[in-house]
């Protein structure tokens, strides 16, 4: 099955610092997506990177994809307290998403 595995599991940083999370998966994919979940809320789609793309930017987010290593990274630059959340990578294939366990990111004001 396609499953993302994020690393590290928990990250605590100061406001203004950058946060980097990694994700690995096991099989071929159509695309890889990152989602954020704030406490008690649903998952919010952040960014999608297709299998033929290597890097993508969206605002303060930068995602990379290395299909040869079956890995992806999400970088949040100039973090804010509002970025405190759980972040999940998910691989898309066979019309479904396969999620990793998630990273808990805490941004200290």
Q: For residues 4-20, b (16+ Cβ closer than 10 Å) or e, as one string?
A: bebeeeebebeeeeebe
Tell me how far apart the alpha carbons of residues 102 and 97 are, in angstroms, rounded to a whole number.
14
Binds another protein (CB under 8 A): choice among 33, 71, 73, 84:
33
Q: How far is the CB of 23 from another protein (least distance, A)?
A: 12
With binding defined as CB under 8 A, does residue 52 bind another protein? no
With binding defined as CB under 8 A, does residue 41 bind another protein? yes
Residue 59's CB: how many other CB atoms inside 10 A?
9
With binding defined as CB under 8 A, does residue 44 bind another protein? yes
The residue range among 11-19, 26-34, 57-65, 67-75 that interacts with another protein, by the rule CB under 8 A, is: 26-34
Binds another protein (CB under 8 A): choice among 7, 13, 15, 48:
48
Q: Three-class SS of residue 8? A: coil
- The torsion angle over the Cα atoms of residues 50, 56, 62 and 66, rounded to 10 degrees, is 50
With binding defined as CB under 8 A, does residue 100 bind another protein? yes
Q: How far is the CB of 38 from another protein (least distance, A)?
A: 10
């Amino acid at each position: 099955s396609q499953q993302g595995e994020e690393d590290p599991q928990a990250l605590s940083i100061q406001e203004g610092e950058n946060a980097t999370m990694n994700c690995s998966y096991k099989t071929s994919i159509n695309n890889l997506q990152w989602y954020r979940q704030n406490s008690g809320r649903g998952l919010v789609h952040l960014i999608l990177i297709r299998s033929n793309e290597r890097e993508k930017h969206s605002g303060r987010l930068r995602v990379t994809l290395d299909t040869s290593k079956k890995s992806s990274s999400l970088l949040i630059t100039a973090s804010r307290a509002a970025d405190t959340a759980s972040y999940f990578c998910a691989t898309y294939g066979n019309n479904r998403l396969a999620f990793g366990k998630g990273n808990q990111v805490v941004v200290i004001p």
